[in-house]
Structure 1
Amino acid sequence: MVDADHYQVNSTRSQCVVDVKEKICTCRKWDLTGMACNHAITTIWDMARNDIRAGIPEEWVSEVYWLDTWKKVFENVIKSIPGPDNWRPSRCPTTLTPPKHHKQVGMPKKKRKKEFGEDEVVADFDNGEKMTRKGTTSMCIKCGNKGHNMRSYKGQGGVHGR
């Protein structure tokens, strides 16, 4: 205890000063939430241990959390309103119109907008620059055999060769 209203609380990581009269702590948790922080609770326990009047727990919590405050907030009744069919027409001379759409300046984007998850599918096949043929075998158009293509065709058996 520093004086009658200020207490110094030491914890493993920090040291805080609790002002019992103003209900504030240097950790600022009590200020921000309105509920006593662990430093304030330690102070209250110390006050009770030393026969200093600590009062009831509700005195250490902000009035926002009191039952009476909640009752005052919800005591007013919100009356229901009729549907749009029963609304009176407005006498306001101006009507609200949507803003005019104008085309943006500059070249339009050439890339299309991709759907969700499409990037992952393309990334599996793409090595960063071009699509790859990894995992596929080429087939010759002239003879129909796999393992070579039309450019590397050697004329097997002279049937298709020139």
Structure 2
Amino acid sequence: MCCLVVEIGIRQWELTGIPCKHVVATNWNMAANGSDVVPESWVDNSYRLSTWKEMYSFKIEPINGSMLWEKDNCPTTLVPPNHHKQVGRPKKKRRKTTEELSQRSGDNGKMSRKGKTVTCDKCKNKGHNSRTCKGQGGPSQDRA
């Protein structure tokens, strides 16, 4: 397991140039035990303070407005693509978080109707609802 973590860390080090915690610990241990290796030499040059200072040493002068921009020699005018309404129901604007999705089956959210039998509001019999009730009789038939 540890070797796998170290290999993943080394792969990340090769991709980003930033060493993982295992490499940093090894470098500091080597420096503490008298090795002549400087731990900072293991980091890529792009992450050094001297490189950052060199990159931002010059000054960029801003242009005051679009009237002072150079005119483009492009003969065509670039226009955005035509907008067309997408087919189907539009997506919700707000996506629910994982906490909200996990509360759906709890007290605050909607309960699932799966496995439940429907009860009619008119006749209080099970197996149909009030819309499909045919007046099959029951305790509250005289309601309407």
Tell me which structure has the larger Cα radius of gyration: 1
User: TM-score scaled by structure 1?
Assistant: 0.42
User: TM-score scaled by structure 2?
Assistant: 0.46
Higher helix share: 2
Higher strand share: 1
